[in-house]
């Protein structure tokens, strides 16, 4: 879940809706300077559905010890405190479920989702907060994900997937594309107020890679520079649920308020032009 702090309420966005927003962004990634990576249909599945396994967990949201919705927030941009105040085994179960749900429909997508998960849990997270048992559990999970990636790639080769799409460079490009679209959705989802960038550098058509800056303009308008999309300006509707902070008195009232909250789309504008 993603949360946006308002004066009297929280705006809450489920993981699956966040991924769907990332997928809509991915659909528009093409212009005279930027080309979408290949094989695009499989990449789009990975971007759009990389958090499908969170649906049940988001349907029964948790509260932090401070009485806030347990969710990604502005404070976590640039960090990934995956191991704070969580049931690690359950958390890894959800992460592993994302790989397996994708594997049942699109093994190539599953490889990219697994690569994303491993990156989150190794390069972006701090395992020092774990005890020895937790660290062993994490290490075993990461090793299992890497082994699963190898199995899926072998299966894809046997199914006749083009060899160039199974090469390390193509997989790396697809993984970085997923993370770029994911970071866009996270930044706008929390209305991040400071300059940032989409994850990784991305190639122009000539192969030269650049950082794509994220520049908030206010009033839910955001600029990307250089501009990677196919229209000069795009509009997206983010389907939050609004839950009053007064409902945070205990877990069950919060869950009931969340379950009964109507979807409240918030419109954002993304542009390649400065004000």
- C-alpha angle with apex 24: 216 to 164, nearest 5 degrees? 110
Q: Which residues of the chain have pLDDT under 50?
A: none
Tens-place pLDDT, residues 55-75: 999 999 999 888 999 998 888
Q: How far is CA 154 from CA 30, 123, 125, 147, 158, in A?
A: 30, 25, 29, 11, 6
Short-list 87, 107, 123, CA closest to 46? 107
In contact, 130 and 138? CB cutoff 8 Å? yes
State the total domains in the chain: 1
Q: What is the pLDDT of residue 235?
A: 98
Short-list 238, 15, 224, 229, CA closest to 116? 15
In contact, 179 and 186? CB cutoff 8 Å? no
Tokens standing for residue 160: 């006749």
Tens-place pLDDT, residues 75-112: 888 766 666 667 889 999 999 999 999 999 999 999 99
- C-alpha angle with apex 52: 48 to 55, nearest 5 degrees? 135
Q: What is the pLDDT of residue 126?
A: 81
Q: What is the pLDDT of residue 251?
A: 95
Domain residues for the domain of 233 are 2-271
Q: What is the pLDDT of residue 86?
A: 73
The residue with tokens 């839950």 is 243
The residue with tokens 């990784």 is 200
Q: What is the pLDDT of residue 273?
A: 85
């Amino acid at each position: 879940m993603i949360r946006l702090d308002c004066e009297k309420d929280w705006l809450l966005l489920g993981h699956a809706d966040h991924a769907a927003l990332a997928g809509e962004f991915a659909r528009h990634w093409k212009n005279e300077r930027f080309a979408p990576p290949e094989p695009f249909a499989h990449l789009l599945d990975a971007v759009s559905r990389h958090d499908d396994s969170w649906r049940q967990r988001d349907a029964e949201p948790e509260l932090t010890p401070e009485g806030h919705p347990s969710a990604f927030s502005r404070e976590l941009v640039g960090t990934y405190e995956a191991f704070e105040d969580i049931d690690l085994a359950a958390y890894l179960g959800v992460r592993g479920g994302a790989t397996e749900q994708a594997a049942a429909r699109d093994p190539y997508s599953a490889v990219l989702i697994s690569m994303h998960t491993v990156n989150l849990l190794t390069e972006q997270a701090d395992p020092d907060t774990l005890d020895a048992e937790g660290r062993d559990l994490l290490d075993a999970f990461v090793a299992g994900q890497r082994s699963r990636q190898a199995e899926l790639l072998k299966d894809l080769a046997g199914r006749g997937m083009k060899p160039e799409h199974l090469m390390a460079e193509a997989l790396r490009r697809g993984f970085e594309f997923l993370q770029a679209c994911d970071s866009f959705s996270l930044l706008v989802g929390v209305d991040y107020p400071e300059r940032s960038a989409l994850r990784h550098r991305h190639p122009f058509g000539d192969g030269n890679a650049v950082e794509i800056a994220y520049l908030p303009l206010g009033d839910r308008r955001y600029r990307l520079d250089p501009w990677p999309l196919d229209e000069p300006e795009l509009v997206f509707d983010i389907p939050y649920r609004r839950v009053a902070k007064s409902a945070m008195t205990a877990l069950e009232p919060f869950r009931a308020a969340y379950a009964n909250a109507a979807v409240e789309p918030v419109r954002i504008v993304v542009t390649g032009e400065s004000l």
